[in-house]
Amino acid sequence: MSFNSEWNTVYSQKGMAAYPDNMLIRFVATNYYNAPVRKDIKFLDIGCGAGASAWYLSREGFSVAAIDGSAVAMERLRERLRSENLEAFLGCGDFTKLEFKPDYFDCIIDVSSLCYVQKDKIEDVMKQLHTVLKPGGRFFSITPTNECAKPPFDHTVNGVNLEARFQDHIEAAKNFKGFKDVNLNSYSYDVRKNNVCQRINLWVITAEKEGA
């Protein structure tokens, strides 16, 4: 079973978020709602899953490219966009091997996707993302902390473990060493499953590329 087929199984078996994270909405509202022409602002949503973030950005009038390795998730996003007459570039593939031209996107969005990139590969992935971001472009990332409940993020499919990386603030900040104005803020909430309360602790990270 390939990595992508494993995620197809995850998305086939589990529900997917229909709406974007509140922290993303605040970030976009603060930085981009006043753009003279929203369509001129290009977002890249990496590991988009079923595309709650991409759907929201498209609905708000921005240009969006969304990438995920799961064909199941991408098809759900495609149908959702089609049903509302919304547009986005959808790519079913590996976001760790980008083919976009340099200095292209105004903003990159990561909602709990980079945490699944192996530790020995994250530096190369971040270099790629840095390259496709415009000078002065922004990066928004949500990732689980080392104190976060693990069950919502770790999945086992046919005996294969899809495990997230749970990072302290030093590890999380290190991923953005090629960026400026790196800010980490904690964000927590509780989820209840099978009468068990789980504490979700996340890092909300924002950063910029030099050269604006």
Mean pLDDT of the 83-111 span: 94
Report how far residue 30's alpha carbon sits from residue 195's, in angstroms, rounded to the nearest whole number.
Answer: 37
The rounded mean pLDDT for the chain is 90
Report how far residue 169's alpha carbon sits from residue 159's, in angstroms, rounded to the nearest whole number.
Answer: 31
Report pTM. Answer: 0.91
How confident is the model over 36-67, as pLDDT tens digits? 999 999 999 999 988 999 999 999 999 999 99
Quick one: pLDDT band at residue 136, thresholds 50, 70, 90?
very high
Bridge-based pairing state of the strands 133-144 and 196-208: antiparallel
Residues forming beta bridges with residue 161, ordered by sequence position: 156
Does position 2 have pLDDT exceeding 60, yes or no?
no
Are the C-beta atoms of residues 11 and 49 closer than 8 Å to each other? yes
Does position 3 have pLDDT exceeding 50, yes or no?
no
Position 182, amino acid: V
